[in-house]
Structure 1
Amino acid sequence: MEVFEQRGNIVAGFDGSDQSREAVLWAAVEAARRSCPLLIVEAQVWPEVSAGHWPGPVALPGWDPTSASAWGTMPPFTDQHVRQRIEQHLAELTDQCRAVAPGISVSVTVVEGTASVALLTAADATEADLLVVGMSGLGSLSRTLLGSTAADLVHSTDRPVVVVRDAPPRLDAPVVLGVDGTNASVRAVGFAFDFAARHGCGVVAVHALSGWPLDVITSAGPSSPETDRSAARNVLYDEFLRPWHDSHPSVPVHIDVVDERPAHTLLDHSEQARLMVVGNRGRGAVRRVLFGSVSHVVLHHAVCPVAIVPGVDS
């Protein structure tokens, strides 16, 4: 059983959107539960400005487009204004974090460059235990870009990544854990039990028979749907869940073995989950292919926060 050692802090990405704000506040609560610092990272690609003006129509804070032309008569707006606005937003966000998680240590940094690179660099520099981002940002383009940021992080790091939706958290709900019976599940199980123990909730471990492994439903022999489910349930508990349940005896555990497709059943469970935890296989080109199925679907379509945890073979 791998022990999750807390080496550093939680790194959370912020882009000014309501969705990323919710992600940062989620990270603040988690930092309080872990008794660790929170680092908020905002990435910026500074635009080129000419004569103190943007080259095209941009909605500026406090600018009324009905009383000013979008082309050339806008008030001067330099990168200094942008920086001041960012600092104001981050100061407000820091206060909000301390309101929802009193006593935590919060720091902020603004990094020039893309979001995924900024977050990965910050995580490496601080030996972070966890990366947290929102799933969507400001406008349709931002939704695409921030969704891409979440996927880039999952592809590029050996740390768990939590993607937070803007839906209110289900504080009375369990952690839903997807287990496929491979090495990709091993660290995910530990992450799920650790989280559940900190937050005082249960774990629902879900395995879909149609996803196979669990050593091909425990190596053949005469079978029926019910015997397959029973065999899979026993293997799941004995080989994957028992060590963590023994070390976290206060965490209630329920095992749900179903005949449906893995992605579909996990999405259904996400509607009744506080957090969904799924494992993921290694980094690099091979993983980019493997990531294209269950983890990808859950990352983009689950309605609750999702933790993608790299497997032991990453």
Structure 2
Amino acid sequence: MSGHRPIVVGIDGSPSSLQAVSWAAREAALRATPLSLITTAFVPGTYGVPIGMPASFFQDEERDGQERLNRAAQAARDAVPGHNIEIVTTLCTGTPAGELLARSADASMLVVGANRRGIIERTVLGSVSSAVATHATCPVAVIRGIPDRDINGHPRPVVVGVDGTQHSEPAISMAFEEAAQRQSELVAVHAWSDIVLELSLDGGTDAEWERDAANETALLSENLAGYADNFPDVKVRTIVVRDRPIRHLREQAEHAQLLVVGSRGRGGFSSMLLGSTSRALMHSVVCPLLIVR
């Protein structure tokens, strides 16, 4: 990834968006890349001030947006003391999702917060993270705001989901890169079926299960081999399970500093821009989730 392509963060003033800024600032420091903070505000239009709003509506919008950006920029600097990262702030006029997606072609990564407490926040604001994760052309990091938890402050492993198809190869590559930069262990989790095998099959002998496990373990090792050669200092631990990839990835994420997955799964339908596994994890994991197209 080019060090000149910025990491772009969407700011809405919520606690989770400030945690997203904190996480992105550390990522920018690790990668020596600029950090771009954006927020949106209404601007004067054809029909003037909305009915019921004060005459100062647009000025208030602009002031509030600039204050959000100032707080975010300070949060970024506080997250990486001693690092002189380049921070650019922009007050935009479009929709939050539209502004972020427009920048995805020239960004090294988009970062959004995802934790919303109220039903309106979850429905309206939460849809921004879903839209961005679904349609962005660059990797997307989704940061869930966890109270009293320093998402940058613990030496936990990086976890990557590997489904054995070409769709997970970009995720594997980026997971190795993240683990190397963070000097952390990489945990590769592979489930050889998306369906619950115990409910779909009439059983099987222990020998058959052992044979399948050996084959899938070999497949996982093959998927990781080339990347391991490029990152010899990264310690890799592998986990091979029969089914339920969402459950197993969620369990590993509880003890991880980052979970990395591909945007599409084994089905790989061209119309399915975001697979069921990545979509489910986006709304449930408690650590930062990185979705790699």
Comparing 22-31 and 93-102, the one that deviates more: 93-102
What are the Cα deviations for residues 160-209 of structure 1, in whole angstroms up to 9, with x where unaligned? 10001112226221111000011110000001000010111111100112
Whole-angstrom CA distance in 2 between matches of 1:35 and 1:122: 19
- Measured at CA, do residues 120 and 53 of structure 1 come closer, stay the same or move farther in structure 2, by a change above 3 Å? closer
Assess if the C-alpha contact under 8 Å between 1:135 and 1:164 holds in 2: yes
Assess if the C-alpha contact under 8 Å between 2:42 and 2:62 holds in 1: no
1:261 has 2:244 as partner: yes
In structure 2, the partner of 1:136 is: 115
Assess if the C-alpha contact under 8 Å between 1:278 and 1:308 holds in 2: yes
One-letter amino acid matched to 1:230: A
One-letter amino acid matched to 1:294: T
One-letter amino acid matched to 1:236: L
Partner residue of 2:216 out of 227, 232, 245: 232
Comparing 262-271 and 195-204, the one that deviates more: 262-271
Partner residue of 2:257 out of 274, 282, 285: 274
- Measured at CA, do residues 138 and 76 of structure 1 come closer, stay the same or move farther in structure 2, by a change above 3 Å? farther
Map 1:277-296; keep pairs closer than 5 Å.
Answer: 277-281=260-264, 286-287=269-270, 289=272, 291-296=274-279
Under a length normalisation based on structure 2, what TM-score does the superposition of the two structures give?
0.85
Assess if the C-alpha contact under 8 Å between 2:158 and 2:179 holds in 1: yes
In structure 2, the partner of 1:67 is: none
- Measured at CA, do residues 164 and 37 of structure 1 come closer, stay the same or move farther in structure 2, by a change above 3 Å? same
Map 1:101-120; keep pairs closer than 5 Å.
Answer: 101=80, 102-120=83-101
Assess if the C-alpha contact under 8 Å between 1:9 and 1:39 holds in 2: yes
One-letter amino acid matched to 1:301: S
- Measured at CA, do residues 89 and 181 of structure 1 come closer, stay the same or move farther in structure 2, by a change above 3 Å? same
What are the Cα deviations for residues 131-182 of structure 1, in whole angstroms up to 9, with x where unaligned? 1000134743122223221221222122110001112226221111000011
Whole-angstrom CA distance in 2 between matches of 1:139 and 1:99: 28
In structure 2, the partner of 1:69 is: none
Whole-angstrom CA distance in 1 between matches of 2:254 and 2:126: 20
One-letter amino acid matched to 2:78: A
Give unmatched runs, 5+ long, in structure 2: 196-205
Whole-angstrom CA distance in 1 between matches of 2:262 and 2:20: 20
1:29 has 2:26 as partner: yes
Whole-angstrom CA distance in 1 between matches of 2:132 and 2:243: 29
- Measured at CA, do residues 110 and 266 of structure 1 come closer, stay the same or move farther in structure 2, by a change above 3 Å? same
Whole-angstrom CA distance in 2 between matches of 1:154 and 1:100: 24
In structure 2, the partner of 1:121 is: 102
- Measured at CA, do residues 180 and 53 of structure 1 come closer, stay the same or move farther in structure 2, by a change above 3 Å? closer
* Partner SS, residue 233 of structure 2: coil
In structure 1, the partner of 2:224 is: 241
Partner residue of 1:301 out of 277, 284, 289: 284
RMSD: 2.7
Map 1:1-314; keep pairs closer than 5 Å.
Answer: 4-6=1-3, 8-46=5-43, 55=52, 77-101=56-80, 102-124=83-105, 127-137=106-116, 139-167=118-146, 168=149, 169=151, 171-211=154-194, 224-238=208-222, 240-281=223-264, 286-287=269-270, 289=272, 291-310=274-293
- Measured at CA, do residues 53 and 290 of structure 1 come closer, stay the same or move farther in structure 2, by a change above 3 Å? closer
Assess if the C-alpha contact under 8 Å between 1:39 and 1:108 holds in 2: yes
Whole-angstrom CA distance in 2 between matches of 1:290 and 1:84: 37
- Displacement after TM superposition at 1:44 (Å): 2.8
One-letter amino acid matched to 1:237: S
Under a length normalisation based on structure 1, what TM-score does the superposition of the two structures give?
0.79
- Displacement after TM superposition at 1:250 (Å): 1.0
Whole-angstrom CA distance in 2 between matches of 1:122 and 1:149: 14
Greater Rg over alpha carbons, structure:
1
Assess if the C-alpha contact under 8 Å between 2:21 and 2:75 holds in 1: no
Whole-angstrom CA distance in 2 between matches of 1:133 and 1:81: 24
- Measured at CA, do residues 288 and 7 of structure 1 come closer, stay the same or move farther in structure 2, by a change above 3 Å? farther
One-letter amino acid matched to 2:177: D
Q: Percent identity?
A: 35
Q: How many residues align?
A: 275
- Displacement after TM superposition at 1:121 (Å): 1.7
Whole-angstrom CA distance in 2 between matches of 1:236 and 1:148: 34
